[in-house]
Amino acid sequence: MINLAVFASGNGTNFEAIAQACQDGQIPAEVKILICDKPKAYVLERAKKYNILTKVVKLKDYASKEEYETQICAYLAPLNIDLICLAGYMKFCGPTLLNAYPNKIINIHPALLPAFKGAHAILDAYNYGVKVYGVTIHYVSPEIDGGKIISQATIDYHEGDTLDEIETKIHALEHILYVKTINKLIKEGL
């Protein structure tokens, strides 16, 4: 069995898609822990439903990013984590985490990287007027949203689609692509 950690900061629909797929046996893995940097994030409620261990770690409670990530690593170490899945985790990963889990941290981004990096990718793509939207899963590297791409999927824009409609379609696609990609990595031996 593969041990996963999920890091999230917000709503947690991607976290839930992964947790549900593990529970259903669609992914041969277990989500051992949710790391969350926002005490009020709804993802923490979702984790309760699945009986998943949660740890809230707030950057501002630590003197440095290094100390913050050292604490996260201390939570992960006894769980023998094979893969860390960032799922709307709105912090960049520093060297402490990246060196502890080389090539073992992946992220989902709601755009076709390298286009529309950053925290408002869907809105940025919408304002730009793109005709093809997409989702990217990539390895996390020191460059934000810049690591090696693992998988991508696309959705066509249809005349008159609203931002809300596009967001809904992108999130649905994210859930499918994340589950598929984790499975692919596990099959390939991570």
- Point out the residues that are catalytic: 109
Under the binding rule (CB under 6 A), the answer on residue 88 touching ligand GAR is yes
Query: Of the listed pieces 55-63, 76-84, 102-110, 124-132, which binds ligand GAR according to CB under 6 A?
Result: 102-110
For ligand GAR, the binding residue among 98, 105, 121, 166 (CB under 6 A) is 121
Under the binding rule (CB under 6 A), the answer on residue 147 touching ligand GAR is no
> Alpha-carbon distance 23 to 30, whole Å?
8
Residue 52, H or E segment: none
Single-letter code of the amino acid located at 31: V
> Alpha-carbon distance 180 to 27, whole Å?
8
Q: Considering beta carbons, is residue 72 or 93 the nearer one to ligand GAR? A: 93
Query: Of the listed pieces 4-12, 70-78, 95-103, 155-163, which binds ligand GAR according to CB under 6 A?
Result: 4-12
Are 166 and 110 in contact, with CB atoms under 8 Å apart? Answer: no
In the chain, what is the straight-line distance between the N-terminal and C-terminal CA atoms, in Å? Answer: 12
Residues 6+ apart with CB under 8 A from 137: 106, 107, 108, 109, 149, 150, 151, 152, 177, 178, 181
Least Å from the CB of residue 189 to ligand GAR: 26
Q: What is the DSSP string of 128-144?
A: HT-SEEEEEEEE--SST
Write the interaction track for ligand GAR spanning residues 45-74; mark x where CB under 6 A is met and - where it is not: ------------------------------
Under the binding rule (CB under 6 A), the answer on residue 110 touching ligand GAR is yes
Under the binding rule (CB under 6 A), the answer on residue 27 touching ligand GAR is no
Under the binding rule (CB under 6 A), the answer on residue 108 touching ligand GAR is yes
Give residues in contact with ligand GAR (CB under 6 A).
Answer: 8, 10-15, 87-88, 108-110, 119, 121, 145, 171, 174
